[in-house]
Structure formats: C-alpha cells, structure tokens
Amino acid sequence: KAGVTQTPRYLIKTRGQQVTLSCSPISGHRSVSWYQQTPGQGLQFLFEYFSETQRNKGNFPGRFSGRQFSNSRSEMNVSTLELGDSALYLCASSLDLVGNIQYFGAGTRLSVL
C-alpha cells in the first residue's frame, strides 16, 4: 500500500510569490491534515480537510489556504510569501476525522529568499 505522497519535495521561492503544495493520501483515507514544522515552533497544525470540507483550522493567517478534491487529494496554497514561511510542510492522512492514527508524508521543504 502506497504511503502519503507530497510534491514537490523541495521548493525555493522569493518573498511576495505564492506557492502550491500537493498531497496524495493513502488510498481509502478521507482526512488530510497539514502541518508546518520549524526548528523554533515545532509542528504546528494548519488545517484539516474531510470530504472536501475544511473541518478544523489552526492559528495561521489567511495567506495560508487549502482545499481537498473528491479523490481526497489535497493542495495547500501560501500567498504573498514571507521569509518566516520557510519551513517543512507536512501532510498527514487518516481514515477518519478524529481519534485515528495519522500517517505522514516526507514533507515539502520550502525556502523563501
């Protein structure tokens, strides 16, 4: 069974640009969550999608947005990039919304110059 796939693995952008990250969950998993990981803040929850609807949201500005498609694949978008957005962005999938084990992808390393 294939794991969670995130693309691209690495990305370099400049301030002010926007970026879209992609996540393909494990087959059969309906929930996709996104996290930002930095050395200083650790893993911080961005948002969770289930059945194409955002079910939960962390404390991030509106520049961070996402969506989920009917096949459960998800995309995350960051507009007007700032230097502080440099981080490892992790996607996790689980069978259902709550109480289930999350399986993580390898992440997308975003560098903002």
Task: Report DSSP letters for 5-50, one per residue.
Answer: EEE-SEEEE-TT--EEEEEEPPTT--EEEEEEEETTTEEEEEEEEE
Assess 12 for contact with another protein (CB under 8 A).
no
Query: Which residue do the tokens 């997308």 mark?
Result: 108
Assess 83 for contact with another protein (CB under 8 A).
no
Number of amino acids touching another protein (CB under 8 A): 22
Range in contact with another protein (rule: CB under 8 A) among 12-20, 64-72, 74-82, 94-102:
94-102
Range in contact with another protein (rule: CB under 8 A) among 11-19, 61-69, 72-80, 102-110:
102-110
Sites of contact with another protein (CB under 8 A) = 4, 33, 35, 42-45, 48, 55-56, 58, 90, 92, 98-99, 101-107
